[in-house]
Amino acid sequence: MRNRTDVDVKDTWDLTLIYKDDDAWYEEYESLKKEIDTYDQFQSTMMNSAQDLLELLVFDQKISRTLDKLYVYANMKSDEDKRNQTYLKMLGEITSLFTMISKKTAYIVPTLMKYQYAKIEEWMKEEPKLLEFEHSLKDIYRYQPYTLSETEEKLIATYSSALSKIGDTYDLLTTSDMNLGTIQDEDGNDVELREGNYTLYIRSKDRRVRKQAFETLLGGYAKFQNTIASTFTGMLELAKANAEAHHYESTIGSYLFADDLDETVYTNLINVVNNHMDTLMRYYHLKKKVLGLDEMHIYDIYVDLTEKASKTYSFEEGKNIVIDALNVLGDDYITNLKRAFMERWIDIYPTARKTSGAYSGGSYDTLPYVLLNYNGTLNDVSTIAHELGHSMHSYYTRSNNGYETGDYSIFVAEIASTVNELLLSHYLLEHSKEKDEKRQILSEMMDLFKSTIYRQTMFAEFERKMHGDTEEGKTLTSEQINKAYYDLNLRYFEPEIIVDEKIQYEWERIPHFYTPFYVYKYATGLSCACKIVTDILSGKEHAVENYIAFLKNGSKDYPKEHLKMVGIDITKTDYIESAIAMFDDTITKMEKLLES
């Protein structure tokens, strides 16, 4: 694997636009540290008048925006090389600063809670500049039943830095300290297996390679199962303690409340998916038939269904395909999308010790950066579209909102990314010239539905059980966690797939579990995206305009209201049913193509 110094600078993101160098970062960091004592001056005066409250909120926003920038720079620099001690130190310092500020600001919400919201409304009429903070203030009062006293909130803030190390420990272990082992590639060359290149080998046409990659990766995690079980159960206990301390009825309820959702949306997803396991089995049956396998293992499910070696794409080719595919979203969208490539928003290639996977990141005052680990597969091209979906959502949101509403719920974030994936797939299918190309595209489309709706829902079931068991006071060992995960795999893969023993360790490699009740949003996001894409491609009146307005809305509304802009009611199940119907239709298209 290449070192970062071997990569052309044009293929890396430009973080100098945040801070020109580390010295500039430290200069702003030290300046911010000196400012935070100013919070003390507002404690006794913040509710004396509308002007006093406004002064506090303006100061707090300034601190938050600076803190966001400092964190984004340190985190992204650390992701370039997870062993670079300079940026690990920066992250430690910014985490400590977060904790200091949390303590300093612990009085704000409890002080507000001493007054009725009617007083805030009265002050907004008196001082219109307070209207900039209306959404944030309303949201604070929505949390009134779950807000503790100033002393209690300060105590929780005191422990926050130490408790946040659980996720950091897991991240460092899995991205930096673990040696997963070595495999032999298709040509018999020894290759060091990492999360960053695992996808390339698990999708290999050579069954020996993908089996070896599967067994080596999960065998590597198995060696650390007790350590990772410790970080995982620590996270579960922390989530439980936080929910109980704030008087939520359940851990899941504490996380869904942020989006103003109840458990119905979560359980609807699981129930609908479980009622349509026949579609998933139909997909696996087709795949087994096309691959010519008498029996199919989990390590076989990721290979595509093309007869030839999968086509590879240079990054330049992938970029142009994505631009052409998204052209249906209009000139303004494409003009701004092209900026991502021209202005170095993207860190493209895998390098030694670079963090695995892909993401879109940044803050209100930075570019919406993208981290990739591009290997040239069709899936990697799809990842460009996916992550730029996030980044374009961020661009439109920040360009059309002030800081207070210049962000959006993760629930709707996964919609923008998967809209792009689906538009790419439909574009490629329409423009492909050869039968084998169409097979590859349909294969990727089916994999998208399998991975995003079914796999993420399986993860959601796993999370619900793990958090539920923790709430009931059960002690979870690595063996019990392994068994729970293995049993779920039996339900999601049998009878079409042989469930290999090592799959029981796969939960260890899912970092999203350290952000509780996140993964279900991938499944609901794709389901919503199917509706939006269907409307756009069918030429439904105002479909594109409504979608762009949706991207610009920021956090002015909670997801239920936000999604009404594109005609979706997430309290019902029809949008999930229609997504599974699209999956079923994609399988049918593949069957017909194979018969032609």
Domains 20-169 and 189-307+443-510 share a fold: no
Give the pLDDT score at 500: 97
Cis peptide before 495 (omega within 30 of 0): yes
In contact, 361 and 76? CB cutoff 8 Å: yes
Reported as a single tens digit per residue, the pLDDT across 398-425 is 999 999 999 999 899 889 999 999 999 9
Q: How many CA atoms lie within 13 A of 240 on its CB side?
A: 18
Helix (H, G, I), strand (E, B), or coil: what is residue 206?
coil
Reported as a single tens digit per residue, the pLDDT across 526-559 is 999 999 999 999 999 999 999 999 999 999 999 9
User: Which of 190-204, 301-315, 561-575 has the least mean pLDDT?
Assistant: 301-315
Q: Where residue 177 falls among pLDDT bands split at 50, 70, 90?
A: confident
* Distance (Å, whole) CA 392 – CA 333: 8
Residue 307 reports pLDDT greater than 90: no
Give mean pLDDT, residues 423-436: 91
Q: Show the tokens assigned to 586.
A: 């994609």
Q: Where residue 223 falls among pLDDT bands split at 50, 70, 90?
A: very high
Angle formed by the axes of helices 225-245 and 207-222, nearest 10°:
60
H and E: helices and strands count for the chain: 25, 7
* Distance (Å, whole) CA 61 – CA 133: 10
- Tokens 């330049």 locate to 316
Q: Quote the mean pLDDT of the chain.
A: 95
CA dihedral 326, 330, 336, 342 (to 10 degrees): 50
Cα Dmax for the chain: 78
Percent of the chain with pLDDT over 90: 88
Residue 364 reports pLDDT greater than 90: yes
In contact, 415 and 529? CB cutoff 8 Å: yes
* Distance (Å, whole) CA 145 – CA 379: 45
Q: Where residue 436 falls among pLDDT bands split at 50, 70, 90?
A: confident
Going by their DSSP bridges, the two strands 346-347 and 369-371 should be labelled as parallel
- Tokens 């206990």 locate to 237
Residue 567's closest CA among 535, 537, 538, 539?
535
Give the pLDDT score at 309: 66
Give the pLDDT score at 148: 86
Going by their DSSP bridges, the two strands 369-371 and 359-361 should be labelled as antiparallel
Annotated active-site residue 506? The verdict is: no
323: buried, middle or exposed (CB in 10 Å: 19+, 13-18, 0-12)? middle
SS3 sequence of 117-144: HHHHHHHHHHCHHHHHHHHHHHHHHHCH
* Distance (Å, whole) CA 467 – CA 237: 8
Give the pLDDT score at 150: 79
Q: Where residue 449 falls among pLDDT bands split at 50, 70, 90?
A: very high
Residue 399's closest CA among 579, 267, 543, 551?
551
Reported as a single tens digit per residue, the pLDDT across 64-110 is 999 999 999 999 999 999 999 999 999 999 999 998 999 999 899 99
In contact, 82 and 176? CB cutoff 8 Å: yes
Kindly report the pTM of this predicted structure. Answer: 0.86
Give the pLDDT score at 257: 96
User: Which of 19-23, 282-286, 305-309, 388-392 has the least mean pLDDT?
Assistant: 305-309
Residue 178 reports pLDDT greater than 80: yes
- Where helices occur in 309-405 by DSSP H, the ranges are 315-325, 331-342, 378-399
* Distance (Å, whole) CA 90 – CA 483: 39
In contact, 470 and 530? CB cutoff 8 Å: no
* Distance (Å, whole) CA 472 – CA 450: 32
Architecture category of domain 20-169 in CATH:
Up-down Bundle (1.20)
CA dihedral 350, 353, 356, 361 (to 10 degrees): -90
- Domain boundary assignment for the chain: 20-169, 189-307+443-510, 315-433+518-558
Q: Say how far residue 263 (Cα) sits from the centre of its chain.
A: 20
Residue 497 parent element (H or E)? strand 497-498
SS3 sequence of 345-372: CEECCCCCCCCCCCEEECCCCCCCEEEC
Residue 216 neighbours by CB under 8 Å, 6+ apart: 180, 181, 182, 183, 193
In contact, 456 and 520? CB cutoff 8 Å: yes
The catalytic position among 80, 153, 195, 387 is: 387
* Distance (Å, whole) CA 326 – CA 485: 38
Instruction: State which fold the 189-307+443-510 domain adopts.
Output: Neurolysin; domain 3 (1.10.1370)
Reported as a single tens digit per residue, the pLDDT across 372-394 is 999 998 889 999 999 999 999 99
Helix (H, G, I), strand (E, B), or coil: what is residue 330?
coil
Reported as a single tens digit per residue, the pLDDT across 145-175 is 998 887 887 788 777 667 778 998 999 999 8
